[in-house]
């Protein structure tokens, strides 16, 4: 029983410390977005990996870097509608 409590406390501590680990209310879209952004920022931050991707795509390193940074804005597309938004949209359509 003490192990469960300790594990839960450790998980909460990690979730508070690292934003990308999420929390119970994190949607799958938020989690995927965090993972994609972490991946793109890691690629941009590691010059050899960025050079490898640029070589594979036959593009200049600066162009690939700019593309990766642009992809960080909405890596998984626009966010899905929240329940409140859906209710408001439905009410507006019924008028």
CA distance 31 to 47: 26
Q: What is the DSSP string of 36-55?
A: HHHHHHHHHH-HHHHHHHHH
Q: How do residues 70-83 score in pLDDT, each as one tens digit?
A: 999 988 888 887 77
Q: What is the pTM of this model?
A: 0.68
Q: How do residues 23-48 score in pLDDT, each as one tens digit?
A: 777 888 888 898 899 999 999 999 99
| Per-residue pLDDT, 78 | 85
Q: Percentage of the chain with pLDDT > 70?
A: 86
Show Cβ contacts of residue 16 under 8 Å, excluding neighbours closer than 6 positions: none
């Amino acid at each position: 029983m003490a192990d469960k409590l300790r594990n839960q406390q450790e998980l909460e501590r990690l979730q508070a410390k690292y934003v990308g680990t999420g929390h119970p209310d994190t949607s799958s879209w938020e989690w995927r977005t965090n993972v994609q952004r972490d991946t793109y920022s890691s690629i941009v931050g590691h010059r050899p990996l960025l050079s490898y991707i640029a070589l594979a795509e036959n593009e200049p390193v600066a162009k690939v870097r700019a593309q990766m940074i642009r992809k960080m804005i909405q890596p998984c597309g626009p966010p899905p509608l929240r329940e409140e938004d859906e209710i408001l949209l439905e009410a507006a359509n019924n008028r």
